[in-house]
Amino acid sequence: MASLPRRIKVETRELARDPPPGISAIPDGENCRYFQVVMAGPAGSPYEGGLFKLELFLPENYPLSPPSVRFLTKIFHPNIDKLGRICLDILKNQWSPALQVRTVLLSIQALLSSPNPDDPLANDVANLWKSREQEAVLLAKEWTRIYAME
């Protein structure tokens, strides 16, 4: 971690010492800007009981630019597309250098608890969520069972 900016070193240490509840973010041994993330599906959500793998990458100009994050585990969610990309304001136009990796991960976890079909990335999922929410929730639970439970 010698050539990494101090900010990344500090955040990495804090994530290891005091991880957010239900989330582990481990820097890759080869590239300390790349994190392997495992996020537990929040209690009371259709994703409860699932363990979701994500990748998080800190760009060269972090913290001036947001990290790029995507789900590696398939998930049925209106704000996450088939490629695992996430529609979340703080990963785009609402990013601020005051935010940290921890904040980003907690925000993604909160998005699992409160899907927002009015700002979708997966339009087909969002349309089902809006028109037949119970069916969408059942599909989200089923995908969680199939793809996120060992």
Residue 87 annotated as catalytic: yes
Looking at 15, 75, 87, 125, which residue is catalytic? 87
| Rounded CA separation 68/92 (Å) | 9
**HEC profile for 17-78?**
HCCCCCEEEEECCCCCCEEEEEEECCCCCCCCCCEEEEEEECCCCCCCCCCEEEECCCCCEC
Tokens for 112, please give them.
């699992």
Hey, which residues are catalytic here? 87
